[in-house]
Amino acid sequence: TTGTTVLAFDMGASSGRALIGRLLSDSDGQRKLEVTEIHRFPNLAIQVGNHLHWDILRLLHEMKKGIRLAFQSGYEPSTFGIDTWGVDFGLLDANGELLGNPYHYRDSHTEGLIEEVSGLIGQETLFLQSGLQFMPFNTLYQLYAMKKAASPKLDIAQTFLLTPDLLTYLLTGVKSCEFTMATTTQLYHPGTQAWNTELMDKLGIPSRLFLEPIQPGTIVGPLSPGVTAELGIPSMQAVAVGTHDTESAIAAVPAGDGPFAFLVCGTWSLLGTEMSQPLLSEEAMKLEFSNEGGVGGTYQLLKNIMGLWLLQECKREWDEQGKEISFPELVRLAEQAAPFRSLVHPDDPRFFSPGGMADKIRGFCEETNQPIPQSEGEIVRCILESLALRYRQALEQAEQLTARHYGGLHMVGGGIQNQLLCRFTANALGKPVWAGPIEASAIGNMLMQLVALGDCKDLREARNLVAASFPIDVYEPSADAGWSTAYGTFLHFGRV
Ligand code: LFR
């Protein structure tokens, strides 16, 4: 029998998707979640003058299309939820209208601001009061950049809405602020569990803009009458899910009881472990870990790793040159290339901004006196091996910070379709990798809707549902000594 139906919007940095989730139960009452993708659309970064922006109205348009398609296909979702990448936001004026196009987190206006703000506030203070790794794109630096540019938008703004809350608002007319996204801003204080208004005051960021955070699993409100009329559909409630995609993905890790390590693998790679409290130690700061608020009262101690962005950017460049090599083909070429020829540190700051990625990689290899990768296969092999080694380093650091031992690594997200990366990771770690589910963010999004609707009691029950519904691929490590040698080389790059 079919039970509850929900609709999830999962927005990534390169594409967005609408997926239907249906709760099915067989004759002996065993429940399963069935997931069907109904709409997929590109999400583009658009350069306008000096700034890089998101096309937020296009996303709204595609979401409306997704809702229409859901009903046209005969589904009747009771609720919908939206998850997106972290940190980005829009500002509303006093009439509730959006002020301009939201900035893209890779816009260069935050360059140099980590140093500047640390100089003003102190690095330790900032870490103790936010628990976050110092990433140039954190909302704090974006707002501070606007402040420094004397942006009139800041003066007239009335409300700050993070991307998922903004999209929810555009569909429902209800303004809200969901907790997991709030914790990506560096303006939320996990110790006091409130916005850090003192810090805002010091930096000239207007604290009047910020709404009281709500917990994931809260019902926000129905679609606005204008939207239901436009789409010709009955109403539907918006649920504030784990609106930060990373947190939705972690919610869908099919781990049992006890500590586990995860790697959310997409444009970014987020590697870490689930905690019941933030870890605000000096060591966590030095090892550059973040404490991000998760669903169900958790904190996720994790490290942001530049991830498959390096590969996506190379592919974009090769596509533009008319080469049009598919991801599976690129992976095949990498497999044929010689092992351990050259390595990069994926988190070298030069790799953060878009453009010229293959040359940046070559430049890194040249500076570090390694053979310079030339062919596409050589470049991709270099990226994948380097990522796998970076994962080992980050996992060892997570073990050090938590004084725990992890017997293997759960990998979830679109990146696990890259089987070579999963295999390399198992080999680099010398531990098994449990890969799945691919659609983790969308599934985690659905799980919190099911929690809001009372179909799942809590995170534990939700994770059991994932384990019962989606298969896992196991990658056992091979005994290739090359990986330990390569790890020694990798550590010489000297970054934590
Ligand atoms: C992954 C992610 C990361 C965040 C980065 C930028 O999609 O949400 O967690 O650090 O995007 O927002």
Per-residue model confidence as pLDDT tens digits over 318-351: 999 999 999 999 999 999 999 999 999 999 999 9
Residue 305 CA to ligand 1 center (angstroms) comes to: 10
What's the confidence (pLDDT) of residue 479?
Answer: 85
Cα 222 to Cα 90: distance, rounded to the nearest angstrom: 21
Identify the residue whose C-alpha is closest to ligand 1 atom 11. 85
Cα 392 to Cα 390: distance, rounded to the nearest angstrom: 5
Give how far Cα 386 sits from Cα of 310, 343, 431, 471, Å: 11, 5, 17, 28
Chain Cα centroid distance, residue 138:
13
What's the confidence (pLDDT) of residue 27?
Answer: 86
Identify the residue whose C-alpha is closest to ligand 1 atom 2. 85
Residue 68 CA to ligand 1 center (angstroms) comes to: 28
What's the confidence (pLDDT) of residue 161?
Answer: 99
Buried b / exposed e along 184-211 (16+ C-beta atoms within 10 A): bbbbbbbeeeebbbebbeebebbeebbb
Q: Which of 454, 442, 453, 439 is nearest to 78 (CA)?
A: 453
CB distance 424 to ligand 1 below 6 Å: no
pLDDT digits (tens, 9 = 90+) for 422-479: 999 999 999 999 999 999 999 999 999 999 999 999 999 999 999 999 999 999 999 8
Atom of ligand 1 at shortest distance to CA of 87?
A: 12
What's the confidence (pLDDT) of residue 98?
Answer: 98
Low-confidence ranges of the chain (pLDDT < 50): none
CB distance 86 to ligand 1 below 6 Å: yes
Residue 354 CA to ligand 1 center (angstroms) comes to: 16
DSSP string, 141-209: HHHHHHHHTT-HHHHH--EEEEHHHHHHHHHH-----BHHHHTTSS-EETTTTEE-HHHHHHHT--GGG
Atom of ligand 1 at shortest distance to CA of 12?
A: 7
Residue 231 CA to ligand 1 center (angstroms) comes to: 31
What's the confidence (pLDDT) of residue 378?
Answer: 98
CB distance 133 to ligand 1 below 6 Å: no
Atom of ligand 1 at shortest distance to CA of 13?
A: 7
Residue 2 CA to ligand 1 center (angstroms) comes to: 34
Identify the residue whose C-alpha is closest to ligand 1 atom 10. 86
Q: For strand 194-195 and strand 218-222, is the pairing parallel, antiparallel, or unpaired?
A: unpaired
Identify the residue whose C-alpha is closest to ligand 1 atom 4. 86
**Please, what is the end-to-end C-alpha distance for the chain in angstroms?**
51
Asked if 245 is an active-site residue, the reply is: yes
Strand order in the sheet with 290-293: 290-293, 299-305, 269-275, 261-265, 409-412, 433-435, 473-475
CB distance 105 to ligand 1 below 6 Å: yes
CB distance 268 to ligand 1 below 6 Å: yes
Query: Residue 92 corresponds to which amino acid?
Result: L
Whether 167 and 82 have beta carbons less than 8 Å apart is answered as yes
Of these residues, 55, 83, 88, 245, which one is catalytic? 245
What's the angle, vertex CA 466, arms to CA 172 and CA 262, rounded to 5? 95
Q: To test ligand 1's pocket by mutation, which of 245, 250, 291 has the most ligand atoms within 8 angstroms of CB? A: 245
Residue 431 CA to ligand 1 center (angstroms) comes to: 26
Q: For strand 433-435 and strand 409-412, is the pairing parallel, antiparallel, or unpaired?
A: parallel
What's the confidence (pLDDT) of residue 494?
Answer: 82
CB distance 266 to ligand 1 below 6 Å: yes
Residue 306 CA to ligand 1 center (angstroms) comes to: 10
Cα 247 to Cα 294: distance, rounded to the nearest angstrom: 5
What's the angle, vertex CA 453, arms to CA 447 and CA 459, rounded to 5? 35
Chain Cα centroid distance, residue 146:
24
Q: Residue count of the chain, please give it.
A: 496
Does this model's pTM top 0.95? My answer is yes
Q: What is the DSSP letter of 96?
A: S
Atom of ligand 1 at shortest distance to CA of 244?
A: 8
Residue 266 CA to ligand 1 center (angstroms) comes to: 9
Q: What is the DSSP letter of 103?
A: B
What's the confidence (pLDDT) of residue 6?
Answer: 98
Whether 227 and 65 have beta carbons less than 8 Å apart is answered as no
Cα 238 to Cα 43: distance, rounded to the nearest angstrom: 22
- The encoded tokens of residue 495 equal 């970054």
Q: To test ligand 1's pocket by mutation, which of 14, 110, 184, 302 has the most ligand atoms within 8 angstroms of CB? A: 184
